[in-house]
Amino acid sequence: MKINIAGNQIVQMLKSSEKTLVLLHPRPNVDALMAALALNVVIEALGKKSDVVCFGSLPSQIGDIQEAEKIKNRLDPTDLVIGFNWAQSQIEKVSYSVEGEKFNLIITPSGKRLDPTQVEYSYRGANYNLVVSLGIAGPAELPTNLFDQSIFRNLPTVNIDNQTSNTNFGKVNLVDTTSDSLSGLVVEILKEAGTNVSSQVAEYLMKGLRGATENFEIVKNPLTFEQAAFCAKMKTAEQIARKNNIGKEKSDEWLAPKTMPSSKMS
């Protein structure tokens, strides 16, 4: 998908989602991690909620970044919902039994035998409206014991990647194998959508660009330098605006009417 189309579409999806799940590869690099943290800040700035989840360990090169503490290593507990056509089976009762560490849910029909192939499984409770996948080539790269892949079928998924092995498993697939980094793709998304980029977001994305290119020593796509310049510009613009606001506050305070204390004449 072209970036100028995907950028607006992805940001609109973030705006319409009350809670977004940002998924990382179990072994993310610095680039993917910084792209995820930047998106998390953008989502919060939109007044929405998000969880950044990585089922593995974080790279040691991230340094002392407080936002990294928000990254979860598992999804919040959810309810397993088992569904089937009860009218056809005429359920008589539902019970359970426990055999050692095994829990058995027992469904006793009074009519037609329940067909196991007609039973559907889903999860409820996390209340995610959208999934954003970063640097994941396909669902098979996620641990099945910690993640239910049906989420990709049940929720709209934004798939952002630059790997040739990506399977285009999302509803929106922004897969650009010519991009040097995921952070660069996030920069392009925000630029095309005209989204306000704070200095914190710009800093994270710059760190991602540096991590992906070994401090710009290995750059295959010249667009990477434009993305870095954009991040530097956004960070500087906010710093200048902050200084101007401080100067204006001092100026307003100086020009404001002042009441001098009165003194008694003897």
Inter-residue contact 32 to 68 (CB < 8 Å): no
Residues 190 and 67 in one domain: yes
The pTM for the full model equals 0.76
- Which of helix, strand or coil describes residue 81? strand
194: DSSP letter: T
Find the mean pLDDT for residues 231-235.
94
- Asked if the model's pLDDT at residue 189 lies above 90, the reply is yes
33: DSSP letter: H
Residues 27 and 59 in one domain: yes
Residues 222 and 181 in one domain: yes
Find the mean pLDDT for residues 186-203.
94
* pLDDT recorded at residue 123: 61
Q: Of 135, 139, 137, 141, which Cα lies nearest the Cα of 181?
A: 135
* pLDDT recorded at residue 118: 80
* pLDDT recorded at residue 147: 87
Q: Residue 234: which CATH number? A: 3.90.1640.10
- Asked if the model's pLDDT at residue 73 lies above 80, the reply is yes
CA-to-CA distance for 42 and 147, rounded, in angstroms? 25
Residues 140 and 67 in one domain: yes
Residues 111 and 130 in one domain: no
CA-to-CA distance for 97 and 207, rounded, in angstroms? 53
Bigger pLDDT: 137 or 85? 137
Residues 238 and 176 in one domain: yes
Q: How far is CA 4 from each of CA 89, 128, 153, 192, rounded to the nearest angstrom?
A: 51, 26, 26, 6
Q: Of 49, 43, 50, which Cα lies nearest the Cα of 195?
A: 43
Q: What tokens appear for 69 in the block?
A: 């503490």
Least confident of 24-38, 146-160, 233-247: 233-247
Q: What is the pLDDT of residues 126-136, one digit of tens each?
A: 689 999 999 99
Residues 17 and 105 in one domain: no
Of all residues in the chain, the percent with pLDDT exceeding 90 is: 58
Domain count, the chain: 2
Find the mean pLDDT for residues 174-184.
97
Find the mean pLDDT for residues 15-26.
97
Which residues in 150-235 belong to E strands, given as ranges? 157-161, 172-175
Q: What is the pLDDT of residues 92-112, one digit of tens each?
A: 888 999 999 899 998 888 877
Range of the domain at 102: 85-118
Q: At residue 101, what are phi and psi to the nearest 5 degrees?
A: -100, 5
Q: How far is CA 203 from each of CA 111, 142, 230, rounded to the nearest angstrom?
A: 63, 28, 11
Instruction: Mark which of 59, 93, 118 sits at the end of a domain.
Output: 118
Residues 154 and 225 in one domain: yes
Residues 131 and 192 in one domain: yes
Residue 257: inside a domain: no
